[in-house]
Amino acid sequence: MRKSLANSIRAAKSFACGASASLSTAWRALRKAPAPVDPGLSPPELVVQVKALACELPAALDLPLARLSTRDIARHAQRAGLVATISNATVWRWLNEDAIRPWQHRCWIFPRDPDFAAKAGRVLDLYACGWNGKPLRANEFVICADEKTSIQARRRVHPTVPPRAGRALRVEHEYDRGGALAYMAALDVHRAKLFGRCEPKTGIAAFDRLVAQVMRQSPYCDARRVFWIVDNGSSHRGQPAALRLQNTFPNLVLVHTPVHASWLNQIEIYFSIVQRKALTPNDFASLDELEQRLLAFQSYYEQIAAPFEWKFTRRDLQELLRKMNSPEPLALAAAA
């Protein structure tokens, strides 16, 4: 790796034989240039500049790319005159020091709810057995609920072949559609108790049937308060839903997560388990078979389940919001 020279990277006039008109000038300049830098002794300012390039969006660098690779970063560093030559491996090694991966991406929804911290904090307090600064009583419960919508029953055109030695389970790619249903589920957070039902479609009436299924049995019917944590779906959105449910069940307290924060709802963890363990691969002859699988898995899981070990607290929330609202400059992060 060698730092670039102004005279050595400018456009040069070429002779017919292929030699450069400035060949002798460039050769004299190179003879005076410093020796190549040992990869282990790279100038700190160059390392920081390359990391800064990796933390830019391609559009900011005037590159017609969606993401940057180590080769793209190395090429741009050379074109920008930061360095004459640099290898992809060197760029990767520098970026790896700070776990910078510009060639990777993940989908993200940034908090847009003006009351995000307050709403999220109430949910986190309930997971920690608290409400309004006071601990929950023994006869108060926390329920997480939601709907898993449009679960298809896919009838494979060839029967699934079980695994054998040296061969994985084989599932036919082509299928016929056998319809779809919705799986409504509720989780008692601190008791790992599950409730669920299958419905033709989601809606207020379907969700209210799930609520009634839970609230009309002990210990919830006699509880002092039962907190229901839900998202902002149309079946249970806003104050109208809270009033509707409380009119039927006076001890029910509806608690909404912030908009676009379903990751705060523990029922989503259970739904991910259902997807992996009961629905993948999707191979059902009918909707009845699909419903039987869902309810049977619910009973099976409940026998072996324990409350989720939720570790994300109010303090973690404040730290996350601080990092999102005021990201540290790269130079400071590199110096730390």
pLDDT for res 111: 84
Domain residue limits, the chain? 6-97, 116-315
Residue 39: is its pLDDT beyond 60?
A: no
pLDDT above 70: percentage of residues in the chain: 85
Q: What predicted TM-score, i.e. pTM, was given to this entire model?
A: 0.77
pLDDT for res 38: 47
Distance, CA of 151 to CA of 153 (rounded, Å): 7
CATH class for the region spanning 116-315: alpha beta
Mean pLDDT, residues 54-73: 96
pLDDT for res 112: 85
What tens digit of pLDDT does each residue of 198-236 get? 999 999 999 999 999 999 999 999 999 999 999 999 999
| Confidence grade of residue 285 (pLDDT, cut at 50, 70, 90) | very high
Residue 312: is its pLDDT beyond 60?
A: yes
Distance, CA of 26 to CA of 103 (rounded, Å): 36
| Neighbour-count burial of 236, counting CB atoms closer than 10 A to its CB (0-12 exposed, 13-18 middle, 19+ buried) | buried
Q: Between 44 and 110, where is the model more confident?
A: 44
Rama region for 242: left / alpha / beta (φ>0; ψ in -120 to 50; rest)? alpha
pLDDT for res 328: 56
